[in-house]
């Protein structure tokens, strides 16, 4: 069985959209989305430096757009067949990409929602004196206990010995000074404590944005960041996406679900690499393919045919 997964914030790199915009339809879609959300996705994805695309309000729309156009080009190689895919999933903002790929929402709606989400999260972080740090290694229970004792939240549990702590900057400094046994702490270049209660105002704005949208049930099941559950109801998945802005991302449980459901192959859409790296360590029995540039499309299509449901 085959799953398609979409990366979250942090996967972007300068110029990563450059090879994808040569595709005529993709270029046209990027122009349309750029106009709709008042953000030049083509310039940001081809010419901007790391600092500019690190900004939340830039990074998140870029990532959703990249996931959609890279999958469009992959589907062309597969004659637009989605029958090979058994599951969709995404990490954090990648859940909006996954929702669109599973046809819960269309691409235009996905870009509008991610624009609201990204701007609201950036605004909620402003002046909060909060941040995030990756805790690498150590026993999970020990790490979570250490975070709790400092008033921090395990905002992203990514599996493979990686937990992202979020909360007050001073508490993050204390964590770095005295890391849990067997671990090391690395500060992340983000502007606030995403996936914590600090983001409550962003949840309200995103909830208002989804209130009037058209939602369908997914063509194939989605796996939720909230708890790794398999979701077949489109409205429920959108509701989970909204709440997840202020709630932890349990990517470790998503990976466990992929394995438990019998998935043998996973394709990470562009800019691929981050999630497949986690999967290789956490679930080595699952084969992975990271879709990075259009030069990968032929091999990716072969991978899909190998693992896809017949």
Q: What is the mean pLDDT of residues 57-61?
A: 96
Establish whether 92 is a catalytic residue.
yes
% of the chain exceeding 90 in pLDDT: 93
Catalytic residue among 48, 195, 224, 307: 195
Model confidence at 83, pLDDT cuts 50, 70, 90, reads confident
- Predicted confidence at residue 80, as pLDDT, reads 56
Q: What is the mean pLDDT of residues 212-229?
A: 97
Q: Which domains does the chain have, with CATH numbers?
A: 2-125+196-307 (3.40.366.10), 130-187 (3.30.70.250)
Catalytic residue among 34, 92, 122, 191: 92
- Predicted confidence at residue 160, as pLDDT, reads 84
Report the SS3 class of residue 2: strand
- Predicted confidence at residue 81, as pLDDT, reads 64
Instruction: Let me know: does 102 contact 109? Beta carbons within 8 Å.
Output: no
Cα separation, 275 vs 16, whole angstroms: 17
Q: How far is CA 115 from CA 51, 58, 63, 64, in A?
A: 18, 9, 11, 10
Instruction: Let me know: does 265 contact 289? Beta carbons within 8 Å.
Output: yes
Model confidence at 31, pLDDT cuts 50, 70, 90, reads very high
Q: How far is CA 110 from CA 19, 158, 215, 233, in A?
A: 22, 24, 11, 17
Question: Strands 230-231 and 130-137, how do they pair?
Answer: unpaired
% of the chain exceeding 70 in pLDDT: 99
pTM of the model: 0.95
Cα separation, 15 vs 139, whole angstroms: 37
- Predicted confidence at residue 127, as pLDDT, reads 87
Q: Quick one: which H or E segment has residue 30?
A: helix 24-37
Mean pLDDT of the chain: 95
- Predicted confidence at residue 68, as pLDDT, reads 98
pLDDT tens for residues 64-80? 999 999 999 999 988 65
Cα separation, 282 vs 289, whole angstroms: 15
Query: In this structure, what DSSP letter does residue 14 have?
Result: T
């Amino acid at each position: 069985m085959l799953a398609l997964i979409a990366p979250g914030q942090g996967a972007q790199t300068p110029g990563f959209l450059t090879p994808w915009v040569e595709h005529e339809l993709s270029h046209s879609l990027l122009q349309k989305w750029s106009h709709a959300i008042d953000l030049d996705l083509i310039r940001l994805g081809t010419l901007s430096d790391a600092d500019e695309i690190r900004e939340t309000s830039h990074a998140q729309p870029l990532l959703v757009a990249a996931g959609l156009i890279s999958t469009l080009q992959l589907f062309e190689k597969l004659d637009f067949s989605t029958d090979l895919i058994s599951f969709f999933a995404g990490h954090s903002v990648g859940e909006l990409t996954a929702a669109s790929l599973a046809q819960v929402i269309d691409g235009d709606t996905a870009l509008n929602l991610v624009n609201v989400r990204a701007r609201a999260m950036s605004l909620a972080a402003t002046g909060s004196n909060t941040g995030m740090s990756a805790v690498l290694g150590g026993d999970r229970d020990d790490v979570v206990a250490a975070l709790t004792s400092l008033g921090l939240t395990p905002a992203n549990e990514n599996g493979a010995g990686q937990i992202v702590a979020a909360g007050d900057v001073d508490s993050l400094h204390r964590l770095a000074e005295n890391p849990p046994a067997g671990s090391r702490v690395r500060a992340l270049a983000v502007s606030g404590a995403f996936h914590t209660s600090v983001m409550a105002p962003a949840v309200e704005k995103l909830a208002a944005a989804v209130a009037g949208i058209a939602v369908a049930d997914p063509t194939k099941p989605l796996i939720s960041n909230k708890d790794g559950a398999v979701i077949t109801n489109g409205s429920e998945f959108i509701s989970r996406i909204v709440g997840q802005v202020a709630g932890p991302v349990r990517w470790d449980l998503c990976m466990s679900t992929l394995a438990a459901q019998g998935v043998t192959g996973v394709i990470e859409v562009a800019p691929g690499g981050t999630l497949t790296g986690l999967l290789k360590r956490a679930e080595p029995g699952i084969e992975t393919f990271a879709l990075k540039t259009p030069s990968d499309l032929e091999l990716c299509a072969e991978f899909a045919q190998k693992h896809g449901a017949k």
